[in-house]
Structure 1
Amino acid sequence: MYQYPVELAPDDNDTVLVTFVDLPGATFGEDERDALDHAVDGLETILNSYMTDRQDIPPPSPANGRLTVAPTLLGALKLSVYQAMRARGWRKADLARAMGLNPRQIDRLLDLRHASTVAQLEQAMWVCGRRFDVAGVEREAA
């Protein structure tokens, strides 16, 4: 669902540059594997800024044979809660009220850098009228 295509290119400093096709920003690494590992952190930083600015999360374009980068599982769950909340027309305060939590707790719940529990995220989805549907898929060889 959150598989964003990336392009890799050699950089001037003997590193590999990773750019996101659908999002602003780039990162790099010592080699392809290191660059892709850094790209996960970069992706979550970019998507976190969309949520902080109360913007819609841009959907990824088709990979069309390109490598893709996805947020961590916890990050994907948080993005799903954020999108469910926005689909209802809710702000963080509305979600806090529905869950009986302090708005600061919702800030942490939606922060891609904060370690929330799956139980909290399940409750958030439930009050948004949704549930998670998780499936394991084959990973891409890199």
Structure 2
Amino acid sequence: MYDYAIRFEEDSAPGLAIFCRDLPELNSYGEDRKSAISEALNAIETTLSIYVDQRRVIPVASAPEAGGHVVRLPAVTVAKIALWNAMMQRDMRKADLCRLLGVHQAQGDRLVDFLHTSKIEQLEAALKAFDLRLSVTVQPYCAERMGFPRHR
């Protein structure tokens, strides 16, 4: 659902530019494919922060195209996306979230701050206030190569 596909383009300088069609604001760079992939998660989380700043719904990921690389987001990041999108569906602001959860402003802000690490338990409690629950699946890294279906 939020496994974003990125693509690489040769840059005029040595290296690769990183793009994501689902997150057009994403802009990053790596010296080679390996460093570009390692930069991609940070670039995605930074881009998600832009969506929060602009009070926009975070889009679901579309199917990857041939030659792309899929970035699997951490469970905490996916939970923050779900929380943010639930807030947007109800036209809520961060202050509304704080009132709903009975938490201080700083604590509520961190729940939708993609550049801050939150405890999964706090996110689960926040999602519960929206009648949502987090569901986690565990798969081997090589599941897709072995022909197992990909869960979302």
Q: TM-score, normalised by structure 2?
A: 0.82
Q: State the distance in 2 between where 1:85 and 1:138 align.
A: 32
Post-superposition offset of 1:138: 4.7
Q: State the distance in 2 between where 1:77 and 1:124 align.
A: 10
Post-superposition offset of 1:32: 0.7
Alignment deviations for residues 13-44 of structure 1 (CA, whole Å, 9 cap, x no partner): 22122111222232111211110110110111
Give the counterpart letter for 2:7 in structure 1. E
Q: State the distance in 1 between where 2:127 and 2:75 align.
A: 15
Are 2:13 and 1:8 aligned? no
Identify the residue that residue 150 of structure 2 maps to in structure 1: none
8 A contact 2:6–2:71 mirrored in 1: yes
Equivalences for residues 1-142 of structure 1 within 5 A: 1-22=1-22, 23-65=24-66, 66-139=68-141
Q: State the distance in 1 between where 2:89 and 2:56 align.
A: 12
Q: State the distance in 2 between where 1:109 and 1:54 align.
A: 15
CA spacing shift, 1:89–1:138, aligned 2, 3 Å? farther
Q: State the distance in 1 between where 2:51 and 2:139 align.
A: 27
**Paired residue secondary structure (2:18):** strand
Q: TM-score, normalised by structure 1?
A: 0.87
Give the counterpart letter for 1:79 in structure 2. I
Greater share of helix: 1
Post-superposition offset of 1:73: 2.7
8 A contact 1:43–1:70 mirrored in 2: no
8 A contact 1:40–1:72 mirrored in 2: no
Q: State the distance in 2 between where 1:110 and 1:25 align.
A: 18
Specify every segment of 5 or more residues in structure 1 that has no aligned partner in the other structure, as ranges: none
Give the counterpart letter for 1:48 in structure 2. S
Give the counterpart letter for 1:9 in structure 2. E
**Paired residue secondary structure (1:106):** helix
Q: State the distance in 2 between where 1:13 and 1:40 align.
A: 22
Specify every segment of 5 or more residues in structure 2 that has no aligned partner in the other structure, as ranges: 146-152
Following superposition, which runs of at least 4 residues in structure 1 exceed 6 angstroms of deviation?
Answer: none
What fraction of aligned residue pairs are identical, expressed as a percent? 31
Q: State the distance in 2 between where 1:137 and 1:90 align.
A: 34
Give the counterpart letter for 1:3 in structure 2. D
